[in-house]
Amino acid sequence: MTKKEKVQFVIDKLEELYPETPIPLQHQDPYTLLVAVLLSAQCTDARVNQITPLLFERADTPEAMIRLDVDEIKDIIRPCGLSPRKSKAIYELSEIILDKHKGRVPQTFEDLEALPGVGHKTASVVMSQAFGVPAFPVDTHIHRLMDRWTLSNGKNVVQTETDAKRLFPKESWNKLHLQIIFFGREYCPARGHNPYECPICSVIGRKSLFEKTKK
């Protein structure tokens, strides 16, 4: 199977399995999505979705957030981990959004990535899911699966993102990156993965996956 055929197989299989792609993080608008994505670093979406209602009940706008102090934010988000760093970032980015962006989440990668605690992946999620701008945020699931499917060499997430954008049609990026995440969680986990039963790896998976299973 050629690489082009592999790409089409992945697109078709994921569309069959996940025709609908709800955004995993609960939010109401670009600001609450930005905060939720920031909280999701090294934390599960399920845990974030337990904590954000408590935080957003107190503050769901930049104006309300800076009326809290950093320690108050930290106490609320503690279960998400890295709370000292995340609380400081949430407070400071809220100040910047008010001071520099008239209270609105900026709609460019450059401005988003200039915010405290916001890296390229977080900016990509916000740009794609809040503003509909084509982006391909790469998380651990996508990085793992692109390697397993021999669509990227898996050296780093930067290379994986470059390969994904080169191989998949631009108009599919925003939906496809969510489909891959859903697939990784359900069929292609990091541990306990059986390539013989995986709907995609069983067809185009890297040979080493099967060698490990035999052992």
In angstroms, the CA 12 to CA 17 distance is 9
> 28, 185 in Cβ contact below 8 A?
no
Task: Give the span between the Cα atoms of 149 and 152, in whole angstroms.
Answer: 8
Torsion sign over Cα 55, 57, 60, 62:
negative
Which two tokens mark 84?
Answer: 């000292």
Dist CA 135 CA 108 (whole Å): 12
Q: Supply the residues annotated as catalytic.
A: 121, 139
Residue 124: which residues within 8 A CB-CB, separation 6 or more?
Answer: 109, 135, 136, 137
User: 11 with 168: CB under 8 angstroms?
Assistant: yes
Q: Is 191 within 8 Å of 199 (Cβ atoms)?
A: no
Which token pair is 100?
């520099």
